[in-house]
Amino acid sequence: MAKPDNRADNVAHLQKNIQNTQQNLHEAESYLNEFASEIGGEEKSQIEAKNERRRESIEGFREEVKDEARHSEE
């Protein structure tokens, strides 16, 4: 038998994911700012691409939080 869908702590998990992703994003940006002149173009491009994916993930997490809020109102 399938377990019932327990959404009680989904928002908390999503908020934690948002915070962790934002922290990683800021750390990577700080790294780029500090060491941009010392790293190669390929590494810089990889970090920038990863940061873009992080921004997209944050937006996705925020949409999920909104979705959870809508479901909790029902």
Which pLDDT score, from 0 to 100, does residue 33 have? 95
More confident of the two residues 33 and 4: 33
pLDDT for 6 beyond 90? no
Tell me how crowded residue 18 is: count the other CB atoms within 10 A of its CB: 18
pTM score: 0.82
Question: In this structure, what token pair is assigned to residue 54?
Answer: 């992080």
At residue 53, the 3 state secondary structure works out as helix
Residue 55 within any structural domain of the chain: yes
Residue 8 within any structural domain of the chain: no
Helices (H), the chain: 10-35, 41-73
Total domains, the chain = 1
**What are the pLDDT digits (tens) for 11-65?**
999 999 999 999 999 999 999 999 989 999 999 999 999 999 999 999 999 999 9
Q: Can you give the residue range of the structural domain that contains 48?
A: 41-74
Residue 12 within any structural domain of the chain: no
Closest CA to 45 of 32, 54, 63, 55: 32
- Counted residue by residue, the chain has a size of 74
Helix 41-73 to helix 10-35 angle (10° resolution) is 160
